Structure 1
Amino acid sequence: MFLFWGISYFIEPLILAVVLALFVGLAPVLSKTPKGEKQLKLFMALTVIGYAAVLYAGYALLVNYAGYVPSLMAFALIFTAFGLVQYLIAPWLINFMYGARPAEEVAPWLKESVDRLALKAGFRKPPKAMVADVNIPNAFAYGNFLTGKYIAVTRGLLESMPREEVEAVIGHELGHHKHKDIWVILALSLAPMFIYYLGRMLMEWGFWSGAMERDRENSSMGLFFAGIILVAVAMILNFIILQFNRLREYYADLHGARVRGKREMQRALARIHVEMEKLKSNPLLKKELSEFTESPAKMLFIYAFVNTFADPYYDIDVLVEKLKREDGSSFLEIFMSHPPIPKRLRFLDTIEE
């Protein structure tokens, strides 16, 4: 990341405070749990419309102040290329970071499960099943057109969950591939990254050129205020992307329930949750847990790390019902990439298998 230590460094916290105030006000609406597939798709459509409207506002502002500037187009192309390079090399990096190995070398039944469930879900070619050498119970989907599609299940998940629940998790990850979530989130993430850095550059150019050249003060201040608005637009877009990602997690849960069963999907989510809470009290795994929760690939995981309760001795069906009754903070949810587990469980109650 590029760092600017000029005027934008001091103004950005003020912009963030204004944007946060906006989303705190919207939190009760944004945190509403969809009821059924139709309402979920409506929420996703409205989120995309909101993203497009904010992006268009940023584009209109840029054109109004800068017009068509070849150097800005080159700047946009550089960011696009940067994002595509990340996308292309990510599968190899993920395999290296998490020690992922083909499932047939570690757990042959896992490959059979992925192949069978992929066929049931309508895949022409099943994703490659991998086992990540990680103690943390989780799973993630990744890949691209060069490497093919992957589904990785951690060793910790295989050791803590019965087969039918592992298959529900596989169904969830198959949903991410089927819904093209990796591509979609990448595409949505490029614009705010470009707009954010462009906004900071305009703030610096506008402020310092206005301070040093009095005859250009009006145009320079125009660029300065345009930069402020562009940074705000980028922040708003990032919050919208988090909202969209939360909705896609519901969508993947829906797919897992359709492929392997609603009850199995609920049990899997609840079991991952309680196993994660138990690991937080294990001093030997604290470092690994911290690295995993702060991973740049965290938006790919099936589970987002939140604090509620952990019962070391539990009946999974009792736990599911107990979690359903929990209410989380709508304020905290606007910062999360995944919906809280209780809401995911309640959403699954509203769908038809």
Structure 2
Amino acid sequence: MKTTMLLAALTALFMALGYTLGGSGGAVIALLAAAGMNLFTFWNADKIVLRMHDAREVDAQSAPEFYGLVRELAQRAGLPMPRVYIIDQDAPNAFATGRNPENAAVAATTGLLAILSREEVAGVMAHELGHVKNRDTLIMTMVATIAGAISMLANFGLFFRGDDREGHGNMIASLLAVIVAPFAAMIVQMAISRTREYGADRAGAEISGNPHALASALAKISGRAEMIPNPVAERNPAAAQLYIVPAHVSELFSTHPATEKRIAALQDIAADMGSVAAPPRTAWQSPSALSPTTTSPPSGPKRRSALDPHGR
């Protein structure tokens, strides 16, 4: 309901700006142009994003544990099996892309797989499958279309209304609309994105059945994602909204809610589900998410990651 209300507010903002700048003709042209650009992105986003990250596709032979984990979660969610990718990057993060569940892809970095337990990796990938199940890529494409149209109209207003002689009041109103509307659209767009993150957290908790594992994963990776450089996000800041946690962005202008608020919401979800927080795992973990072989458990209490079961 919150997403619907925010979408309605964004649409109303677009209509008001179009009316202020002088009629429906320019507004319709801007909307069609923005829709065309975003539809192209919508159909090709998965290829663009995966190529941007140099992601490599894996299968049951090359990464049996990780691939099998995603397959199990997809079955629980009632989703088609997505394509599975691994990104050779130290920054711990993950994302989902694709225009619909039938053409979805999920990816995780080696940095994420190295520091999380199997249960935590399951929570993260369940969150990404939650985005797929909720069709968030479609919703955000709709949002981007309207926000893009607002920006285009504002640019038209700057160039074609600057010498308006009909009245001082009309000119002031137009200038205010041109300046305020894109900023307001950006705020609404970020609010919708944050709403979808909460929705994906809830869906991920339900799919994995372990909200505490997702909360633990968020706590672990949020600090590291801030400290470890992410070359892709530095070159393309728009990529930050893809990840499960943002990188190097202030909370005010972030497309994600504060991690502390997400963890608190997951704790509430766990209480509703009757979930009990699992004790820290000190025994041998399951085989690596990337390792094709298994071995007997080594001795010692050292905690193992999903990537390094042997404690190397």
**TM-score higher than 0.5:** yes
Deviation at 1:296, TM superposition (A): 2.4
1:235 partnered with 2:190:
no
Q: Deviations over 1:229-279 (max 9, x none)?
A: 1442232121012112112112111122222201111111112124335x4
Deviation at 1:91, TM superposition (A): 1.3
Percent identity, aligned pairs only, is 26
**2:217 corresponds to which residue?**
268
Q: Select the structure that is richer in helix.
A: 1
Q: Deviations over 1:30-75 (max 9, x none)?
A: xxxxxxxxxxxxxxx2453244235324414523653342x55333
CA distance in 2 between counterparts of 1:78 and 1:129 reads: 33
Compute the TM-score of the two structures, normalised by the length of structure 2: 0.77
1:49 partnered with 2:21:
no
CA distance in 2 between counterparts of 1:57 and 1:276 reads: 35
Return the letter of the residue paired with 1:91. Answer: D
Question: Is contact 2:225-2:245 (8 Å) kept?
Answer: no
**1:84 corresponds to which residue?**
39
Deviation at 1:221, TM superposition (A): 6.8
- Give the length in aligned residue pairs: 268
- Given candidates 132, 155, 159, the residue that maps to 1:200 is 155
Question: Is contact 1:137-1:156 (8 Å) kept?
Answer: yes
**1:59 corresponds to which residue?**
15
Q: Does the C-alpha gap of structure 1 residues 64 and 229 become closer, same or farther in structure 2, counting only changes over 3 Å?
A: closer
Is the partner of 1:66 in helix, strand or coil? coil
CA distance in 1 between counterparts of 2:224 and 2:14 reads: 43
**1:344 corresponds to which residue?**
262
> What are the ranges of 5 or more consecutive residues in structure 2 without an aligned counterpart?
274-312
Q: Does the C-alpha gap of structure 1 residues 155 and 201 become closer, same or farther in structure 2, counting only changes over 3 Å?
A: same
**2:287 corresponds to which residue?**
none
Compute the TM-score of the two structures, normalised by the length of structure 1: 0.69
CA distance in 2 between counterparts of 1:91 and 1:305 reads: 20
Question: Is contact 2:101-2:135 (8 Å) kept?
Answer: no
Deviation at 1:146, TM superposition (A): 11
CA distance in 2 between counterparts of 1:219 and 1:76 reads: 27
> What are the ranges of 5 or more consecutive residues in structure 1 without an aligned counterpart?
1-44, 211-216, 281-285, 308-331
1:292 partnered with 2:207:
no
Q: Does the C-alpha gap of structure 1 residues 172 and 57 become closer, same or farther in structure 2, counting only changes over 3 Å?
A: closer
Question: Is contact 1:253-1:348 (8 Å) kept?
Answer: yes
Question: Is contact 2:58-2:84 (8 Å) kept?
Answer: yes
**2:253 corresponds to which residue?**
335
CA distance in 2 between counterparts of 1:186 and 1:232 reads: 22
Deviation at 1:226, TM superposition (A): 2.6
Question: Is contact 1:136-1:154 (8 Å) kept?
Answer: yes
Is the partner of 1:131 in helix, strand or coil? strand
Q: Does the C-alpha gap of structure 1 residues 87 and 231 become closer, same or farther in structure 2, counting only changes over 3 Å?
A: farther
Deviation at 1:150, TM superposition (A): 0.3
Computed over aligned residues only, the root mean square deviation of the Cα atoms, in angstroms, reads 2.6
| Paired residues for 1:126-141 under 5 Å | 126-141=81-96
CA distance in 1 between counterparts of 2:49 and 2:9 reads: 34
Q: Does the C-alpha gap of structure 1 residues 138 and 64 become closer, same or farther in structure 2, counting only changes over 3 Å?
A: closer
**1:3 corresponds to which residue?**
none
